[in-house]
Structure 1
Amino acid sequence: MINTKRPPKDTLVASAIFTVIFALWAYLVSSSSQVIHSFDKTMNGIIYTSNTSLINFAKTFTNLGNTSTIVVETIILFIILLVFKQYAYAWFTAGVMICANGFNWILKHVVQRPRPTVRHLVYADGYSFPSGHSVGSAALFGVLIVLTILLIKSTSLKTILVIIWALFSLTIGYTRIVLHVHFPSDVMGGWLEGITFVLLGYSFLYHFYLEPKLIEEKRI
């Protein structure tokens, strides 16, 4: 069931690159850079809509990224992996989600960016950067992408699932902008943070589980 013969290579370099990009993005946001203001203004002009159907869709779909929903989805995934005795993958999932969301909470209180002043179309409290919905969904669906690549043998099914997981995260981030509760730069920061922790988590998984297992199988 497990694709340990040819797992994706170590993502430590990619992790470092995303960490630097995310750190730079967070610095630009916290310093109120003109680059961020221009980015938000441009993206808002593209994304903002008065289309009632799209807004109603956003109000419903955004719930998939609620903290409580993400926690429940993570626990379910964790339990499923334990039931199937995929212990390394279960702890990989838990580790990524705990670290990503924990760090997000800390960063929100360090940056303390207020939410957009325009009328919010759904209730949202707390600080704005990074978007918690974007962090949680990027981390969870990023984990699902990794697990799909490792556990699914069918290439066509694997491709379909990876696209679906990616679209879920992108759409959740999109809804936060449409509903006026986040700046586009909040969502971008959330995606960058979530992806960074997934890549870091996979590097640990690769070095401490997949690579040793691969070496062991070659010796047999």
Structure 2
Amino acid sequence: MINTKRPPKDTLIPGICFVVIYAVWAALVSSGSQFIHNFDNAVINIVCNNNPANVAFAKDFTNLGNTSVITIETIIVFIVLLIFKQYAYAWFTAGVMICANGYNWIIKHAVMRQRPTVKHLVYADGYSFPSGHSVGSAALFGVLIILTILLVRSKFWKTLLIIIWALFPLMIGYTRIFVHVHYPSDVFGGWIEGITFVLLGYSFLYHFYIEPKMIDMKRKQ
């Protein structure tokens, strides 16, 4: 079922804008730009501290963005959508997550940025840019925001869920900086990449499923 009152409009243009922003950001990171260096230092000085409570929280919360956890959550969302016969939304979810994480692997090996040299508070391997936790969480919870807008009719629950979904990638990104396994520019780049695939994925969904459905419903009225 489609919420015909206020479905989000086509997001192709915003998606293209995010592609450009991401390309510029990736180029700045890969070239070792002084701007990126200053950005990273400024954010690290604001975010990081040695407060035991903050350290414990960051070390625990960051696990919610692990690839295995995000994958399990994605599968659960996919199965639930299939159970409720929301097939287009299920494949939208799967498509966005597969593309975002697959592209993230490609970019990591293209840029080959090393992780911060300070002591890591949690285990992390592989290249640093972009943050896989940030990509995965931004993509998954971005998808959940889209699904909430489309499927939840209660204004109260819709608003509450959107706030919750938006907070998760922000907090996960914060913890990746706090535990010293990513530079802030890695996290920001991950957020941009995840959001880009959500916007492009929704544009595809809009043109090939939502818009035709809405036209068909209007014809039958």
SS of 2:78's equivalent?
Answer: helix
Q: 1:98 aligns to what? A: 98
Q: 1:162 aligns to what? A: 162
CA distance, structure 2, for counterparts of residue 147 and residue 49 of structure 1: 36
SS of 1:170's equivalent?
Answer: helix
Deviation at 1:2, TM superposition (A): 3.1
Q: 2:150 aligns to what? A: 150
TM-score, with length taken from structure 1: 0.99
- Aligned pairs (5 A) from 1:76-95: 76-95=76-95
Contact kept in structure 2, 1:89 and 1:147, CA below 8 Å: yes
Contact kept in structure 2, 1:4 and 1:213, CA below 8 Å: no
After superposition, what is the alpha-carbon deviation per residue over 1:75-128, rounded to whole angstroms, capped at 9, x for unaligned?
010000000000000000000000000000000000000000000000000000
Contact kept in structure 1, 2:2 and 2:210, CA below 8 Å: no
Deviation at 1:5, TM superposition (A): 4.1
After superposition, what is the alpha-carbon deviation per residue over 1:123-173, rounded to whole angstroms, capped at 9, x for unaligned?
000000000000000000000000000000011110110000000110000
SS of 2:100's equivalent?
Answer: helix
After superposition, what is the alpha-carbon deviation per residue over 1:179-198, rounded to whole angstroms, capped at 9, x for unaligned?
00000000000000000000
Please tell me the residue identity of whatever aligns with 1:83: I
Identical-residue share of aligned pairs (%): 73
Q: 1:217 aligns to what? A: 217
Q: 2:124 aligns to what? A: 124
Would you identify which runs of 4 or more consecutive aligned residues in structure 1 move more than 4 Å? Answer: none
Q: Is there any run of 5+ residues in structure 2 with no aligned partner, and where?
A: none
TM-score, with length taken from structure 2: 0.98
CA distance, structure 2, for counterparts of residue 2 and residue 9 of structure 1: 13
Contact kept in structure 1, 2:114 and 2:127, CA below 8 Å: yes
CA distance, structure 2, for counterparts of residue 210 and residue 29 of structure 1: 37
Please tell me the residue identity of whatever aligns with 2:40: D
Q: Is there any run of 5+ residues in structure 1 with no aligned partner, and where?
A: none
Contact kept in structure 2, 1:100 and 1:194, CA below 8 Å: yes
- Aligned pairs (5 A) from 1:38-117: 38-117=38-117
Please tell me the residue identity of whatever aligns with 1:80: V
Contact kept in structure 2, 1:5 and 1:214, CA below 8 Å: no
Please tell me the residue identity of whatever aligns with 2:22: F
After superposition, what is the alpha-carbon deviation per residue over 1:53-74, rounded to whole angstroms, capped at 9, x for unaligned?
0110011111110000001000
- Say if 2:43 is the partner of 1:15: no
- Say if 2:154 is the partner of 1:136: no
CA distance, structure 2, for counterparts of residue 49 and residue 100 of structure 1: 31
CA distance, structure 2, for counterparts of residue 26 and residue 165 of structure 1: 26
CA distance, structure 1, for counterparts of residue 201 and residue 4 of structure 2: 17
Q: 1:199 aligns to what? A: 199
SS of 1:119's equivalent?
Answer: coil
CA distance, structure 2, for counterparts of residue 189 and residue 139 of structure 1: 12
